[in-house]
Amino acid sequence: MILKNFRESREDMDLTQRDVSKLLHLHSSTISGWETGKDTIPIEHLIKYANEFSLSLDYLFGLIPRNEKYYPVELDLVQLAHNLTELRLQNHFTQNEVAKKLNTSQAAYSHYENSINIIPTNFIYGLTKIYSNFSIDEMFGRKKIV
């Protein structure tokens, strides 16, 4: 999965793939794989990148046309699980219905809502197709810098 604005944001800040790889303590070929869509960026690394440069996750995913600045946030599995559950219930879906839309099992999806596993990046993007007015930044509890 290619994050639409990941590469663009890096280039706009005059950063090389090597610069990003140093920041995230990864090999530069990993960054290349993310930018070409060969590999999927783990959400933990994406949040670290977004935090470092005050970037919106919604912008990086291409959900909004411009970047809005956000305060850094720590990945909190319990808060994320709570937000996933609340979002599903507000939209009157069962876990099984969401799981089917994400092409996964109900048991796997249950692990995300019970803070056992972190939801994969491609599933987070998939949620944007299921729910209207969905913000990835809000899902992770990120607050805008006003």
Q: What is the pLDDT of residues 93-127, one digit of tens each?
A: 999 999 999 999 999 999 999 999 999 999 999 99
pTM summary value = 0.91
146 pLDDT more than 90: no
Domain covering 77-139 in this structure, CATH number: 1.10.260.40
33 pLDDT more than 80: yes
60 pLDDT more than 70: yes
pLDDT > 70: percent of the chain: 99
1 pLDDT more than 70: no
132 pLDDT more than 90: no
Helix residue ranges per DSSP H, 28-105? 28-36, 43-52, 57-60, 77-90, 95-102
Identify any residues that bridge with 70 across adjacent strands, giving them in sequence order. 144
